[in-house]
Amino acid sequence: MTAATESTVNGAIGQSPKRVEDDRFIRGMGNYVDDVQLPGMLHMAIYRSPFAHATINSIDTSRALAMPGVVACITGQDLVAHGLAWMPTLAGDTQAVLATDKVRFQGQEVVCVIAKTSYQAEDALEGIDVDYDPLPVIVDPKRALDADAPIIRSDLEGKTDNHIFTWESGDAEATDRVFAEADIVIKLDTLYPRIHPAPMETCGAVADYNKATGKMTIHLTSQAPHAHRTLFAMVAGLPEQKLRIISPDVGGGFGNKVPIYPGYVVATAASLLIGKPVKWVESRTENLMSTGFARDYHMEGELAATKDGKMLGLRANVLADHGAFNAQAQPSKWPAGFFNIATGSYDLQAAHCKVDGVYTNKAPGGIAYRCSFRVTEAAYLIERLVDNLAHETGIDAAELRKQNFIQPEQFPYKSPMGWEYDSGDYEKAMNIALELVGYEELRKEQAEKRAKGEVMGIGFSSFTEIVGAGMSKICDIAGLAMIDSAELRIHPTGKGVLKLGVQSQGQGHETTFAQIVANELGIPYTDIAVEHGDTDHTPYGLGTYASRSTPTGGAATAIVARKLREKARQIAAHLLECAPDDLEFDSGTFTVKGSPEKSKTIQECVFGAYQSDLPDDMEKGFEDVTYYDAPEMTYPFGTYICVVDIDKGTGQVKVRKFVAVDDCGTRINPMIVDGQIHGGLTQGFGTAMMELISFDEDGNCFGGNFMDYLIPTAVESPDWTLGECTTPSPHHPFGAKGVGESPTVGSPQAFVNAVVDALHPYGITNIDMPLSSHKVWKVLRDAGVTDE
Amino acid sequence: MLPSTFEYVAPTSLDEALQALVAGAGDAKIMSGGQSLLPMMKLRLASPGTIIDLNGIAGLDTLEEVDGMLHIGALVRHGEIERSELIRDRYPMMRDASLHLADPLIRNRGTFCGSLAHGDPAGDWATVAATLGAEIHAVGPDGAVVHSAIDFQTSMFETQLGSDQILVEVRIPAPKPGQGSAYLKIERKVGDYAAAAVGVMIVVDGGTITEASIGLTNVGPLTIHAADAAASLVGKSIDDAAAFEEAGRLAMEISEPSSDLRGPEEYKRDLVRVLTKRALRTAGARAQGKEA
């Protein structure tokens, strides 16, 4: 990496200007998919299955068709004629667009109604009559593998069970040897439950087919508009040059807007067939019940160690519940994502993991919710095991971690399951966190409280992330290398536009990416307009998820700006009649070394690029494009510490303090980084304390609205105390690593570790999330603890 | 999340509203804040043919003490109760409940009276009104009608309010000297129904409890009036910890919660015991002028 120069230009890296996009959001002038209104636009609503598993005998849409305003009813059989009844998933499975043979989860799409108004479409759902024969239901993934379990995917030829894949990583034999020699083996059987990203804006599309030009424009809630364009072209056979995806303002994605959903496909097919724009925007219930859920990992972990706390090896066996279709969104070669980052921040001798995916009668997924492909589950497992090892050995949880951290001089560090960590200084981040939380005092207080019968706990998480996918040699989606891009054009007056392959769902790209240009070219960030999300007007890229925008698109932006800086240098040398090497560049001005009075600003150089007086071998204009293929992943890390007090009467857990020290390398806009961390910590808090999509034995979903699917608000969220540590990435152009997902990856286990630490004196070694008051209450009462 | 078709009527007088209600012939619903009704309509759990909006009728926003009774008009929002100094100083149980009722956004629109008329079996105000001995004043085609809060609710989403009656005001007896009250609610997050909640009112004279009333929320089909628990306190010292313990036990015994996502029934029962004790301590401190 080239160290970022300390630029004084307005908005350069390290400054915290306010987000330029907030002006329109705060005024209610954002433009979301549901804001799109087109002449003659029709509306679509989806009739969904009330059963989790049932044969479809017949579908009768005649009553609905007779209702006011109804234009068409589309069934799975109608799509068969166009080859669209089934679609491929990003994971290489197939998924029903509209059910033809049977329904496989409650809420599955069966019939689409197209009507003149959204109310008429909704009314007509009551006129759809489907005759079902209910089938036995599989809810428990462990039961899914029983010999007598009903076969959910009877559509797959020759399928005789509900098993999807087995994926292994690491060295099983070496791991066995390490375990055989270990003094202590800590075992943990835990469920990372099924949760949902629940973005504020639900998913939707407006498909607009122009019969005259043959052009299909789709306004789509998409985190990856370019990849979606290619997939639409491949699946629906639409010519890619006549396909335009516009992902306008998007109200949160968190991975939920990476997959392609049946509603998108049917709205597009309907517009193509009817020749009018068709809008589909799902309700909150539809979003929670049918779109990409996350996690649902049943994990058995084992950690081998010596009696004095030297960690030796890790073993993990995972049962992954993917629901009715394997619709997870991971790089194609990674069926369990990067779960093999599970050795985390620790220098282990050997490790092995095995993941089995299974089908159940639940909504399909699972997507990487604010998570770089299963790193959330991996970080949870290792950090829970380490805290339990601390309890088992009696070694302080902070001390134990320090003893086992990968040391700064070991980077680049090759992990036992094959990753090469770029950089890290784990103890430094840990020490900052210990200082911020006042660790020694807290442990004293805890001892005093325990003596009085009060219940208090302190939990740690010293996580390592793997983000920025990245690395076309190992990462692709449906064959598309996971590159990203930036196109920069500066107009004659020195103000310009940056076009990105990545897309923003609230991350603040219109500010931070302009800041990268400000830093590299010395043009104030307010002079750079950032465009993204429209495939007709931006260069190709794989999109925004997995904390990859800054590692990939950010790198591309810095590189394209540097290319143009070199062009500006040539122009400045020409204008100042000196050699390019004689020029120094600082904060937007080229100065002749030793002659400070001889200088040209970047704006003068840009204007020069559009004038007649240019070097003979130089093209006019001031623009360039870069496609960036990351050489390595980046590895953000941090230490989080959570302090809880527990009410013995009610089991309520109160988070008294939460300290988060993140190292995401160079921070472009520290205020936006803090905002990202606040948001992610709050989502991690929700995951740990309250979020859950559960089902009864018939596959009825509990969690289809915000009365049942609980997400935290400002009222219950704790205060967050943030600390900072900076270890720049050695291979990223300006040392950034990506931060969006660190807090959701890093925080849930800190809450759980704190509660387990509090309850450890009562013999508790595990409580699965969410940490409901009644679960804590039961632990206390079972241990004979009364309310006084 | 789109409601069925309905007529919207915005009367400017109670007479007009009553006429519309009669014209609606059982298919009309009165709306004050709409915070329960509209979500039910959007989920199509309710599809009334006519909505009669009370918000244009003058004189329904009273929140004041008159002749020994607190008057709460049909358009008084939860948030006004939350922010009222009169409520804070003299009706602490209401203040407690207002802080845990729904969420701050809903509290700015939803109404106290609407909540009672809605007849939600898990409503916090139903417990508060019953425990404080409220009167529920309605008007119908034949004039004014008064119901007692304690048996106002008859079943889930059903009350004694006739389909041709409009709830216009609730009246609550002003506190007696030495009265203290409290409402404690355990919820999973803001806006949730109670896992369990307890409202208590006691009157203390010379260190002795002379009157007591206890109500339990969402631990039975409807609000539970824990009469035995309350009666067990009368004549006891305000410092009698064993008496509070016993009241908690009696309240727990009369509760009949069911298991759900908020927890198993044994948890909710134990919450009733713990919350009753704690609410009694708070109410006792308040009765003696010591805010707990």
Q: Classify strands A413-414 and A350-358 as parallel, antiparallel or unpaired.
A: unpaired
Judged by CB atoms closer than 8 Å, whether chains meet at A772 and B190 is answered as no
State which residues of chain A have pLDDT below 50. Answer: 1-4
pLDDT of A1:
45
A774 touches chain B (CB under 8 A): yes
Chain B residue numbers touching A778 (CB-CB < 8 A): 264, 267
Judged by CB atoms closer than 8 Å, whether chains meet at A284 and B1 is answered as yes
Active site residues of A: 223, 370-371, 741
Judged by CB atoms closer than 8 Å, whether chains meet at A712 and B261 is answered as no
Judged by CB atoms closer than 8 Å, whether chains meet at A710 and B188 is answered as yes
For residues A671 and A667, what is the distance between their CA atoms, to the nearest angstrom? 9
pLDDT digits (tens, 9 = 90+) for B172-213: 999 999 999 999 999 999 999 999 999 999 999 999 999 999
Per-residue H/E/C for chain B: CCCCCCEEECCCCHHHHHHHHHHCCCCEEEECCCCCHHHHHHCCCCCCCEEEEHHHCCCCCCEEEECCEEEEECCCEHHHHHHCHHHHHHCHHHHHHHHCCCCHHHHCCCEHHHHHHHCCCCCHHHHHHHHCCCEEEEEECCEEEEEEHHHCEEECCEECCCCCCEEEEEEEECCCCCEEEEEEEECCCCCCCCCEEEEEEEEEECCEEEEEEEEEECCCCCCEECHHHHHCCCCCECCCHHHHHHHHHHHHHHCCCCCECCECHHHHHHHHHHHHHHHHHHHHHHHCCCCC
Chain A residue numbers touching B274 (CB-CB < 8 A): 649-650, 787
Residue holding tokens 């190709």? A540
Question: How many structural domains does chain A have?
Answer: 1
For residues A198 and A204, what is the distance between their CA atoms, to the nearest angstrom? 14
| CA–CA–CA angle A663, A667, A671 (5° rounding) | 105
A283 touches chain B (CB under 8 A): yes
Judged by CB atoms closer than 8 Å, whether chains meet at A777 and B263 is answered as yes
In CATH, the number for domain B7-53 is 3.30.43.10
| Four-way CATH pick for B63-173: 1.20.144.10, 2.30.30.110, 2.40.160.10, 3.30.465.10 | 3.30.465.10
A contact residues 610-649, partner B, Cβ 8 Å cutoff: 649
pLDDT of A3:
44
- Calculate how close chain A gets to B278, using CA atoms only, in Å: 10
| DSSP conformation letters of A158-197 | T--SSEEEEEEEE-HHHHHHHHHH-SEEEEEEEEEEEE--
For residues A547 and A371, what is the distance between their CA atoms, to the nearest angstrom? 8
DSSP helix/strand/coil, A381: helix
Q: What is the CA radius of gyration of chain A?
A: 27
CATH code: domain of residue A560: 3.30.365.10
For residues A710 and A203, what is the distance between their CA atoms, to the nearest angstrom? 19
Q: Which residues pair with A271 in a beta bridge?
A: none
pLDDT of A188:
98
A777 touches chain B (CB under 8 A): yes
Judged by CB atoms closer than 8 Å, whether chains meet at A123 and B5 is answered as yes
- Which residue in chain A has the smallest CA separation from B103? A715
- Which residue in chain A has the smallest CA separation from B193? A707
Percentage of chain B beyond pLDDT 90 is 97
Judged by CB atoms closer than 8 Å, whether chains meet at B261 and A694 is answered as yes
Judged by CB atoms closer than 8 Å, whether chains meet at A787 and B274 is answered as yes
Chain B residue numbers touching A285 (CB-CB < 8 A): 1, 43
For A546, the domain range is 22-30+484-628
From A283, A710, A716, residue closest to B1, measured CB to CB: A283
pLDDT of A660:
98
Nearest Cα neighbor of A662 from A376, A465, A397 is A465
For residues B197 and B8, what is the distance between their CA atoms, to the nearest angstrom? 36
Q: What is the ipTM of this complex?
A: 0.95
pLDDT of A623:
98
pLDDT digits (tens, 9 = 90+) for B80-107: 999 999 999 999 999 999 999 999 999 9
Amino acid at A282: E
Q: Which CATH architecture has domain B179-287?
A: 2-Layer Sandwich (3.30)
pLDDT of A777:
97
- Calculate how close chain B gets to A115, using CA atoms only, in Å: 14
* Residue B79 in tokens: 């948030």
Chain A residue numbers touching B190 (CB-CB < 8 A): 713, 715-716
- Every domain of chain B and the residues it spans: 7-53, 63-173, 179-287
Sign of the dihedral defined by the CA atoms of residues B148, B151, B154, B157, in that order? positive
Judged by CB atoms closer than 8 Å, whether chains meet at A650 and B262 is answered as no
Judged by CB atoms closer than 8 Å, whether chains meet at B267 and A707 is answered as no
> Does the pTM of the predicted model rise above 0.90?
yes
Give A367's contacts (C-beta < 8 A, 6+ positions apart): A197, A255, A256, A258, A259, A292, A293, A294, A327, A328, A329
DSSP helix/strand/coil, A20: coil
pLDDT of A329:
85
For residues A417 and A632, what is the distance between their CA atoms, to the nearest angstrom? 16
From A119, A651, A715, residue closest to B190, measured CB to CB: A715
Chain B residue numbers touching A772 (CB-CB < 8 A): 188, 263
Amino acid at A48: R
pLDDT of A616:
85
DSSP element (H, E) containing A660: strand A653-663
DSSP helix/strand/coil, A758: helix
In a domain, A471, yes or no: no
Amino acid at A312: L
Nearest Cα neighbor of A89 from A244, A248, A292 is A292
Taking an 8 Å Cβ-Cβ cutoff, which residues of chain B contact chain A?
A: 1-2, 4-5, 43, 103-104, 186, 188-193, 195, 261-264, 267, 270-271, 273-275, 277-278
DSSP element (H, E) containing A557: helix A555-576
| DSSP conformation letters of A567-605 | HHHHHHHHHHTS-GGGEEEETTEEEETTEEEEEEEHHHH
